[in-house]
Every structure is written in C-alpha cells, then in structure tokens.
Structure 1
Amino acid sequence: MTHQTDIPATSEGPLKGIVILDLTRVVAGPYCAMLLADMGATVIKIEHPLDPDLTREFPPLQDQDGAAISGFFAQYNRNKMAVSLDLKKAEGRETFLQMVARAHIVIENFRPGTLDKLGLGYGVLAETNPAIVLTCISGFGQTGPNSPRPAFDSSAQATGGLWSMNGTVEEPMRVGTVLGDLSAALYGAIGTLGALRQAEKTGIGQCVDISQQDSIISLTENALVTYTASGKVTVPEGNGHPFVKPYGRYACKDGYVFFGAYTDKFWREACIVFGDEHLLDDPEINTMARRFDPDVYERRVKPLVEQWCGRHTKAELEKMTGARFPLSPIKSIDEVVADPHVRLRDMVIPVQYRGVDFQVFGNPVKLSGGTREKNAMAPELGEHNERIYRDWLGKDDEEFEFLKKNGVI
C-alpha cells in the first residue's frame, strides 16, 4: 500500500506517516482522532466553513482580545491540523476524494446514511482508495432498526442499561460523564488500528462500525450474563457492591473514602492497621464468606469500618494504609489536579488554542517511546487550508482562489 503523504512532518510516534481525515464533531469522534494524533498520526480536521464543530463555543471559555476561546475544544482537538470544506458542493466532494486518495483513515460521526447522501459512502471512498479505513461512530450503529435514530451520550446510557444500574434503587442516575461518547471513542481507536494493520498487510481497507449503545452494553460488567444465566435484573447498588463486602464509600473526618479490604489477606491488614488484631479470630467475621453475609455485614462489619474511617481524615487514611490494602480518598476534581502522582504521569498537560493556554487531561496510553500530547496546540477553523490544499494536494492559485470565492473552503 503506497500513499503520497508528503505533508511536512509535524510529528513523531508510532503512527507517524499515517494520515487521518477527521470529519467528526463534539466528543466521540474528535476524541478518537485525538488519541491517534497523540501517537503521531497526521490528523486533518475537516469542518464546514460556515458550520464548524459547535464545541468551538463550548465552555469553559477564556477571553482573548474580546473573543471567547473554548478549553473544551482545545482538549479534544489538540495535535490536529484543520481545514474548512463544504462537502455538499461538487467541488468540495471532489477535493475530499483527492484527500482520500492520499490518506489512510477517515473518521466520521454523522448519523448513519449521511455520507451516502453526500455521495461519499464507503463504496465511493474504497473506489478512490481501496486501502482506506472508514471508522463510523454513531448512537446505534450502521445496521439495525434503530440505526437512523439521533442520539447523544445519554441515549446510549439509557438504552445500554447503564442508567438503570447507577445511582440508588429509589433514583437511577446517569453516570456523571459522557461515558457513551468516551467509550465509543476508545473502541473506535482500537477498531481503527486493527483495520489499519489489516489494510497495511492486504491493501484492502474496511468499514469500522462503532455504536455508543454497544459500547455502553460492554461496560455493564456482569449484568448481562447475570440476567441471561439467572433471570436476575441488576439494580442500582448505590455506593456498595451487590455481594462483595466491605467494598464501598465510607465517611471520614473530611469527606469520604473507598474502602475495599474484603479479601481475607486485606482484611487482616486492615485489622492490624486500625489496631484490632483480636478480630482476626472472631468466628463471626474471620472469613470472607462470613463477612459477605448481608446480616453479618450490616450488624458487625459495616459499623466497624465506619468507626475505623470516621476517626481520621482522607490524608491520614491514605498515609496509614499505604500499599497494604485498597483504600482511596474520594477526590474532587481540584484534588485530582493537585495530586502529585497524576502530575508525574502527565495526566494534566498544557494545550494552547488561539493564544490561550489550557490545562487539560493527558493521554492515558503511556508508551515507552513517548506520545506527543504535551505542549500541543488545537487549530483554528481552516488554519491549514493553504498547507493542505496547495502544498499537499497541489492546487494552483486559480483553483485555490475559486474554492475560496465560491465558499467551498
């Protein structure tokens, strides 16, 4: 498989030389493409010249010379180039296919059927470049009766079962982040890399179909197999666990911690740390199976753990327990940002967008050869039009000016 990828080198990393055309908006698609950009791929974000990615206006916003600059956009679009292009115009479609001929991957998160209506479905892309990988991220996938339905993250949490399992029995709750978007992005990146490897070996690409609903279903742990095997429907457990005990949220002097010393090994360590070694021989709670018993837990174990935690602060508990058994402070986001461990692992990094420096989350994929998210930049709308259309595609002055004059770019 050969491509002309003579965009001036902008990156290093395992995906250096891979060109990705990013047609996506909001979170799921942009995050998928960003993960690959962090690993060295050249990602070209393609936006309609009059209707760009709406997250360019999403909060948090910082003022820069009277303009409101979005940290949200910066976080999900770092390390990308950007061009403007109207795919509804014939010249726009022609230009896009010229880009497809030189690219390796296209990522889109339109509603299924949109690319076909534009005359740019997978069949057309594959005719232009048989090795192209098309990754499609949508609410319900490219097939099935619900495929055409519009969807947001909450649609996936609702229809994938997660919403019904989270919160309390009295009030099921949506998970407090866009987990449907984020998980679809992660699966999208995995599927894209798998398809790319196959294309590199065979010269034949394929369509990667990622559904937010599917992604959420895969995150419901044992709920699905529990139902199919036993008929039991998983319900919200609040801050506890359906059978593992003690394992949940417990109050301390200045907030809450997660306490998870449920195995016999960890329980022994907890009893020693809190000065209650005599409990190791207590016949009612001296084995994991006995502590799992709901009555025993409520009557003996829960009050004991509440007493242990209630005497100390989060910091004291974290220091006392160390690596002896699982105990973690339940941290607010300001505490997460200040965590020296998080900082050491580059999970809070600077990204610049339109002259504003934002602190955003880093890339959780840590490669010994490094990734390139630190000190990255996010592009302005159409920032790289000349570099892509003139330098890469080779359009002359007359054609480039025609595209500008006629609103194609």
Structure 2
Amino acid sequence: MRGPLDDIVVLDLSRALAGPHAAQMLGDLGARVIKVEHPDGGDESRGWGPPFVGPDQGISTYFLAANRNKQSIAVDLKSDAGRELIERLVRRSDVLVENFRTGVLDRLGLSVERLHELNPRLVVLSITGFGHDGPEGGRPGYDQIAQGEAGLMSLTGPPGEPYRVGASVADLLAGIHGAYGVAAALYERERTGRGRVVRTSLLAAVTGVHSYHGTAWTVGGRVPAAGGNHHASIAPYGAFRCADGMLQIAAANDGQWKKVAALLDIDPDMAKYATNRDRFAHRDELIADMEKALAAHDRAYWLARLGEAGVPAGAIRSLDEVYAWAQTRSQGLVVEVEHPVLGPIELPGPPLRFDGLDGVKHSPPPALGQDGDAVLRWLTEREELARREELER
C-alpha cells in the first residue's frame, strides 16, 4: 500500500522522542525511514520504562511508541567507517532528521555545508531544545524543562500550582512541527531543485501553540494563569461533578448555553448568566449552580440528555477505555503489527487519513541494527543505478 511520500527516503539520526516522532510521521506517510543508532545500546529510549515487555522484559514500550515503519542500522558516527557510510546514505536520501545539541554534527564532520555538498537536494530537519542560536541556543532540553520554560506549566493544573502536561507534549509538538516543515521544504524543492534546513525547537513548538493565552498577554496585557479543568475564556466550558463522577460540558456560545440551562432548570437570561462575559465573571457561581442540578443524576443520564440537545459533552476516559472505544478504532487510531519477539501487537495509529488511499502497511519498531544488511543491499543498488544513469547521460 502506497502513501503520499512513498518515493522519499529519510535518514533518521535522532533519538529519544521529538526527532523520532517526526521521522515516524514521515514513515506513516509512506517514506522509507532508516534509523541510525549507536551500536552500544542504540536509541536511549530503548532503556526507558517501565513498562518493559517481552520474554526477558527487555523491550521498552516507550521506544515502540515512536519508531514504527523504520529500519534500524547500527553505526558509530565517530568512526571513519561510520562517517563514510553516513555520507553514502546522505547522497541517496531526501531528508535527514537530527536532534543533537548545537554543534555536534559539525564536530562529527557532518555540517550543513558538508551535507549539502554531498547532496544539494537534501532537506535537513534540526530539532533543538531552545533554538540553534540566540543567547541560550545550544542549551540541552528535555520535555518537562521546556514545558516549564515555555510557560505551559503555568497554564496547567489547579490555580497556583504548576503542572506538567501528562504527555510529553513539547517533544511531540516539536516532532509534528518538524514533519510539517519537512513537507513544505520538499514541496519547495520541486521548484528550486535544492533542499534547505528546517529548524524548530521544544521552546518554539510550545510557544507556537500558546494561541489565545499568548495574545491575552501580548495584546491584552494580562498574564494567563492556570484554571484547572475550566476554560480560560469561555463559560461554561469544563469538567463538572454529577452523581457518580465527572463529565465535561462545552457551551461555547449563547445558543448552547440556553440548551444547557434548560436541561438544568437554570434561567439563561438572568443578568449574571446572560452572555459569555457575564457567565465568566460569575463562573464560580455558575459552576456551583450547574453541579447542584447535575447531582440529581449519573453521568450516563446527563450525557444522553446533552447529546439529544446537541450540546458538546463527553466522558473523561482512561487510556484503556480510549483504545477499546469503537470510535477510536473506526478512525484508524489503533494499528496492528507483527513484532518479531512480541508477536501481534497494537500501536497508536497515525492521525491522518487520505481519501482514496488505504495508507501504508505498518511495520513494527525495529530491533537494534536488524536491517543493516538490507539497507546496505538497497544502498548498493541505488548507487549502481545512479552510476548507470550517469554513464547514459
């Protein structure tokens, strides 16, 4: 089965999460992704857990999350033979992904200038913690550090107590932004014939999704603060207690609010609840009034009534519930692959679907170095084909 990038070759020098996630996204679109790992242990995320699975509990589920649809080769980038192999692969690749600290590729003899000397059409994706330049460029960056430095933790959790987002969202957003930049650079290359460097960082990725929180400060002069499980600008919009737990209700306009008010027997036109501005100003009172009414019935009852009324509402699911949910599976968000050690396993699936394409056939995350011989055969074939084409010209 073919994907939109089935003629693209990606050389993935990255490790941990941001770079591997970007490369995995490109692989989900059909690209051949060759993952380069150090022979001694490979990608550090192979050792991150728990949980670990397999007969000897030696396989990291963390690694499995970011490395499907890839081939693995073991290469020591500091050795002459390793650098020679990477240079050969660079000549036959379309994209190189790296998330080393600033200057590391230069010290390995693989500067941007050298990469483009080897292959002028190469698109290079470079992901750093805080940017490749500037007064703090080159700082090492991990997800939670970036969540704090980029302000996300100040917006998350109960008021006055910063919380990290549960998923490694700085890494993942950097990977998503990076893949998006690569797609744009590949499109530009069709016009110019030349590749370029695409740069992003964990800092840039999180700052880039501040959205209305950002403009609250840059335009409105107000520093946003954490609001727990309720929206920073809309009311009622958040998590509410009912008889047997919590449910979520999002009334984003006055029409939706009137439907909620009718179900809960609240006067929607009283002065303090008439408009979103009024409701937000009296949000604590509004939450109390709503929860008093919601306490009369359980979650299932209210979700059914809200659904009938056309009000956006939902449960708060645990991950086992998410992956068992028929809607999740209907969207291709769970894929099954045949792992050489674990057998058939399910992985979180890609978030994109293309009309008219069934998508790529997914392969399991590779064992360290398992594809060395296959990649060398493919590389030799590509080099021989290039030589014949050159002779014919």
TM-score by length of 1: 0.87
1:178-217 correspondence to structure 2 within 5 Å: 178-217=168-207
Task: Give the secondary structure class of the aligned counterpart of 1:251.
Answer: strand
Q: Is the 8 A contact 1:255 1:314 kept in 2?
A: yes
Matches within 5 A, 1:274-293: 274=264, 276=265, 279-280=267-268, 282=270, 284-293=272-281
Could you tell me how far apart the structure 2 residues matched to 1:371 and 1:96 are? Answer: 33
Q: Which is further off, 92-101 or 123-132?
A: 92-101
Aligned partner letter, 2:138: P
DSSP-derived class of the 2:100 partner? coil
Aligned partner of 2:54 in structure 1 is 63
**Structure 1 residue 75, shift from structure 2 partner:** 2.1
Unaligned runs of 5+ residues in structure 1 are 1-10, 397-409
Letter in 1 for 2:154: S
**Structure 2 match to 1:385:** 372
Unaligned 5+ segments in structure 2 are 384-393
Secondary structure in structure 1 of the residue aligned to 2:194:
coil
Identical residues among aligned pairs (%): 35
Q: Which residue of 2 aligns with 1:105?
A: 95
Which of 286, 291, 296 lines up with 1:306 in the alignment? 291
Out of 302, 313, 318, the position equivalent to 1:317 is 302
Given that residues 150 and 206 in structure 2 are in contact (C-alpha distance below 8 angstroms), is that contact kept between their aligned partners in structure 1?
yes
Distance (Å, rounded) in 2 between the aligned partners of 1:121 and 1:24: 15
- Of residues 128, 135, 142, the one that matches 1:145 is 135
Runs of 4+ off more than 6 Å: none
| Aligned-partner Cα distance in 2 for 1:395–1:132 | 16
Moved more, 386-395 or 253-262: 386-395
Q: Provide Cα deviations, 1:291-341, integer angstroms capped at 9, x if missing partner.
A: 2332xx433x32331133323333332222226111111112122122211
Distance 1:50 1:287, change over 3 A: closer
Residue type at the aligned position of 1:387: A
Q: Does the 8 Å CA contact 2:242/2:294 hold for their aligned counterparts?
A: yes
| TM-score of the superposed pair, with normalisation by structure 2 | 0.90
Paired AA for residue 306 in structure 1: E
**Alignment partner of 1:362 is 2:353:** no
Distance, in Å, in 2 between the alignment partners of 1:253 and 1:153 is 37
Partner of 1:78: 68
Task: Give the total of aligned pairs.
Answer: 380
Match of 1:345 among 327, 331, 335: 331
Residue of structure 2 equivalent to 1:399: none
Mapped to 2, the partners of 1:231 and 1:267 lie a distance apart of 28
Structure 1's 72 and 358: CA in aligned 2 closer, same or farther, altered over 3 A? farther
Q: Return the alpha-carbon distance in structure 2 between the equivalents of residues 223 and 140 of structure 1.
A: 20
Q: Which amino acid aligns with 1:365?
A: L
Letter in 1 for 2:289: L
- Superposed CA deviations along residues 119-166 of structure 1, whole A, max 9, x for unmatched, are 001110100100100101110121112122111001211111111121
In 2: Cα distance, 1:351 partner to 1:99 partner: 27
The CA deviation string for residues 21-71 of structure 1, in whole angstroms up to 9 with x for no partner, is 00111111111100110110000011111140122233322122x352222
The change in CA–CA distance for 1:292 and 1:19 in structure 2 (over 3 A counts) is same
Rounded to whole Å, the distance in 2 between the matches of 1:225 and 1:101 is 44
Over aligned residue pairs, what C-alpha RMSD do you find? 2.1
